[in-house]
């Protein structure tokens, strides 16, 4: 076959196989036999082998998995992937409804969707072609798993229209696929997956995409990250558009006119849940109007216009075999229930946190008791109560110790705290747990330094504080158990890379009491360098809106410690960055710009700037760029083919500029 004929046939095969794949995996209505599909796929592969230049990123043949990867690259989400607040009962739902109506008026409708128990992913398309897929990660930074996501056959490699957009969805493993996978693992003597969610997550994090391709994963796409030029004004419209573009959306969704209809929908699925071919762990409720969503906005962690109703937890009965104690990085002594293994909500549970001595007394727990156990939110094992009527008299009373189980220091109970605490700064357990926190994903994010490795390093006296991580030597690491050349090299590379992290990552990693990830970023943005923060006074700290008295006092106390000063000096010597690298805080009062304090929408195609560049420049000059037009919009920047947003802006008498005017103002 000559090249021109081959090119034409390859395109025909692309179109046919994409269509047959869509019919089978999205519509569940196959129009050809498996044998015919396989024959056409084999023909395509043969042509791609004969003409390698014809193998494209959207070829149906990439579904089988490509080359093995060395590692997953990090991806910054253009729109953060936030988590949802939770509702556990009707009262919570009605409170959510009341808050929404207080903010946007009585005319509020909702969309209810099944909450798939899988792994959230983001899919980015350029001109209709799938170009990148990523995990949720910490909501801001995820991992690039594009090659693995190409093997999920219900994800279109090419949309039915040439839009450039980003969509969000949940990848899951159907129950039948999970059962088949675990059956095969059992036959091979391998460790079984605990549940379909873990199996899906484990499959997508395989460095060999061919493994992911064999796992029969599926996806339901649930939103467009930024509706952009789609003309969509409601969430339900967005889902309908996703259907038109060839995505697989959940057919069980329902638009509800009010909260009563939402509650009826939830009651129905609470009963029907076991009959589904996949796992769900709740119902997601979203306000339908995008304008109302924008008006409600977000908290630091979640949108105010959506909530996840969690199904009541399954409760089971088991034995309390023992109570173990652990020492956390802040010295808190936490008792943990050791349970006779029992299956709860899809996984085997053997341990459950008892939190503190007061809880043990309140529940009247004794070692040997028969207890009721559930998973709070279907995730965290919890002892609900004791079945006192089943006591035999052989049960043993439990008492909290007076001294630390790790360092033997006397334990104290600080004022207004229920927890017992070890206040010895040299306590090995606290140091070890502090290092585990330091390397965690939201802190310094050092891949390869899991809990087991850190315990090993600590036991071998290779690390005694976080600074010691930066003087680890290759030859010494190779002498440790289960540490081969590749894993050691990868670990040292990850440690080296962590030196370049922005200041907020280091601040959070240091484990300053009361300073979480969000507060660490706030401090880093406001003070910009570690040196500035070290010199900050209590008054300067509490002057920042998000910083309260407790946190300010904790920060000042922490930096006053001589051992902290020594630690920071060591980290500087090893080359760890001490400066904030993110976008600077800008007060609109200090900006002499036409954009300062204004809400701006970009629409249509810009010729001289791309959308992200324009947004970044406007925000640097104090403007706020949003995705949809509302009464609160001050300015619309309209490029070519502006569409419905332009019409709406004209209707609302909003000021409108073209791209030339935008560039002129940016240059001033």
Q: Per-10-residue mean pLDDT for the chain, 668 residues long?
A: 85 89 81 85 88 86 72 85 90 95 93 95 93 89 91 93 92 92 82 83 88 92 86 93 95 96 95 89 95 87 91 88 92 93 83 88 94 78 93 93 92 80 87 93 90 90 93 92 89 95 95 89 92 93 83 92 92 96 67 82 81 79 79 86 81 90 84
Catalytic residues, by residue number, are: 115
* Residue 591: predicted pLDDT: 65
Contact between 624 and 599 under an 8 Å Cβ cutoff? The reply is yes
Q: Estimate to the nearest angstrom the gap between the alpha carbon of 617 and the chain centroid.
A: 28
Tell me the two tokens of residue 501.
Answer: 């992290």
HSE-up of residue 417 (Cα within 13 Å, Cβ side)? 14
The residue behind tokens 């279907």 is 378
Q: Yes or no: say if 256 and 269 are a contact pair by the CB < 8 Å rule.
A: no
444 neighbors 510 (Cβ within 8 angstroms) = no
Beta strand 599-603 pairing with 635-638: parallel
- Cα separation values, 83 from 146, 260, 282, Å: 22, 24, 14
Rounded Cα distance between 9 and 59, Å, is 13
- At residue 462, the pLDDT reads 94
Task: Output phi, psi for 173, to 5 deg.
Answer: -115, 120
Q: Which pLDDT value is given to residue 227?
A: 80
pTM for this model (two decimals): 0.57
pLDDT at 66: 65
Domains of the chain, start order: 3-64 (1.10.287.610), 85-310 (3.30.470.30), 315-412 (2.40.50.140), 428-573 (1.10.150.20), 588-667 (3.40.50.10190)
How many angstroms from the chain centroid is the CA of residue 287?
22
Tokens of 180: 């088949």
Query: Could you give the angle at the alpha carbon of 109 between the alpha carbons of 104 and 111, nearest 5°?
Result: 125
Q: Is 392 exposed, middle or buried (0-12, 13-18, 19+ CB in 10 A)?
A: exposed
* DSSP at 543: T
Asked if residue 123 lies in contact with residue 155, where contact means CB atoms within 8 angstroms, the answer is yes
Burial class (CB in 10 A: 0-12, 13-18, 19+), 481: exposed
Task: Say if residues 433 and 328 touch (Cβ distance below 8 Å).
Answer: yes
List, in order, residues 6 or more apart from 60 with CB less than 8 Å away.
13, 14, 17, 18, 21, 41, 44, 157
What's the rounded Cα separation, in Å, for the pair 381 and 352?
5
Identify the pLDDT of residue 586. Answer: 60
Using N-to-C axis directions, what is the helix angle for 34-50 and 3-25, rounded to 10°?
A: 150
HEC per residue, 489-513: HHHHHHHHHHCCCCHHHHHHHCCCC
d(CA 563, CA 557): 12
Characterize the bridge pairing of strands 85-87 and 306-310: parallel
Handedness of CA 7, 11, 14, 20 (dihedral sign): negative
Other Cβ atoms less than 10 A from the Cβ of 248: the count is: 22
Give strand pairing partners of 142: 75
């Amino acid at each position: 076959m000559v090249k021109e004929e081959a090119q034409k046939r390859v395109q025909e095969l692309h179109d046919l196989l994409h269509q047959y794949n869509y019919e089978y995996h999205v519509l569940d209505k196959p129009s050809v036999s498996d044998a015919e599909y396989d024959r056409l796929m084999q023909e395509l592969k043969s042509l791609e082998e004969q003409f390698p230049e014809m193998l494209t990123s959207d070829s149906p043949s990439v579904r089988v998995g490509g080359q093995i990867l060395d590692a997953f690259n990090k991806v910054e989400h253009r729109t953060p992937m936030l988590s949802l607040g939770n509702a556990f009962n009707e009262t919570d739902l009605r409170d959510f409804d009341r808050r929404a109506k207080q903010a946007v008026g009585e005319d509020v409708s909702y969309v209810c969707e099944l909450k798939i128990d899988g792994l959230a992913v983001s899919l980015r398309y350029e001109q209709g072609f799938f170009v990148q897929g990523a995990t949720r990660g910490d909501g801001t930074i995820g991992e690039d798993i594009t090659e693995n996501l190409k093997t999920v056959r219900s994800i279109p490699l090419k949309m039915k229209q040439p839009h450039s957009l980003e969509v969000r969805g949940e990848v899951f493993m159907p129950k039948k696929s999970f059962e088949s996978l675990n059956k095969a693992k059992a036959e091979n003597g391998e460790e079984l997956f605990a549940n379909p969610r873990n199996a899906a997550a484990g499959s997508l994090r395989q460095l060999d995409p061919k493994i992911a391709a064999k796992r029969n994963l599926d996806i339901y796409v649930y939103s467009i990250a930024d509706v952009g030029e789609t003309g969509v004004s409601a969430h339900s419209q967005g889902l309908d558009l996703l259907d038109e573009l060839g995505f697989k959306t959940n057919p069980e969704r329902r638009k509800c006119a009010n909260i009563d209809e939402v509650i009826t929908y939830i009651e129905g699925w609470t009963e029907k849940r076991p009959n589904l071919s996949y796992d769900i762990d709740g119902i997601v409720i979203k306000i339908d109007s995008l304008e109302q969503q924008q008006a409600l906005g977000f908290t630091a962690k979640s949108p105010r216009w959506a909530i996840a109703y969690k199904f009541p937890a399954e409760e089971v009965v088991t034995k309390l075999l023992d109570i173990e104690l652990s020492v956390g990085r802040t010295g808190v002594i936490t008792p943990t229930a050791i349970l006779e293994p029992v299956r709860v909500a899809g996984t085997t549970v053997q341990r459950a946190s008892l939190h503190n001595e007061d809880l043990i007394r309140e529940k009247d727990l004794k070692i040997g008791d028969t207890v009721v156990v559930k998973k709070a939110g279907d995730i965290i094992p919890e002892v609900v109560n004791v079945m006192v009527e089943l006591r035999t008299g052989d049960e043993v009373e439990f008492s909290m110790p007076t001294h630390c189980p790790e360092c033997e220091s006397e334990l104290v109970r600080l004022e207004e705290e229920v927890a017992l605490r070890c206040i010895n700064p040299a306590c090995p357990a606290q140091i070890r747990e502090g290092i585990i926190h330091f390397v965690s994903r939201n802190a310094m994010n050092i891949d390869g330094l899991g809990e087991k490795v850190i315990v090993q390093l600590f036991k071998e006296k290779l690390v005694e504080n976080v600074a010691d991580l930066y003087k680890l030597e290759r030859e010494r690491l190779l002498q440790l158990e289960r540490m081969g050349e590749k894993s050691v090299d990868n670990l040292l590379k990850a440690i080296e890379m962590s030196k370049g992290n922005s200041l907020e990552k280091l601040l959070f990693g240091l484990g300053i009491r009361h300073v979480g990830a969000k507060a660490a970023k706030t401090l880093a943005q406001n003070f910009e360098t570690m040196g500035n923060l070290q010199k900050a006074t209590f008054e300067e700290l509490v002057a920042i809106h998000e910083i309260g008295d407790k946190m300010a006092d904790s920060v000042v106390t922490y930096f006053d410690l001589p051992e902290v000063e020594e630690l920071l000096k060591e980290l500087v010597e090893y080359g760890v960055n001490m400066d904030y690298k993110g976008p600077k805080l800008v007060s609109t009062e200090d900006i002499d710009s036409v954009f300062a304090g204004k809400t701006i929408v970009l629409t249509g195609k810009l010729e001289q700037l791309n959308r992200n560049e324009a947004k970044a420049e406007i925000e640097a000059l104090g403007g706020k760029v949003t995705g949809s037009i509302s009464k609160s919009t001050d300015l619309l920047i309209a490029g070519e083919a502006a569409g419905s947003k332009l019409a709406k802006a004209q209707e609302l008498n909003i000021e409108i500029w073209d791209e030339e005017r935008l560039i002129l103002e940016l240059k001033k």
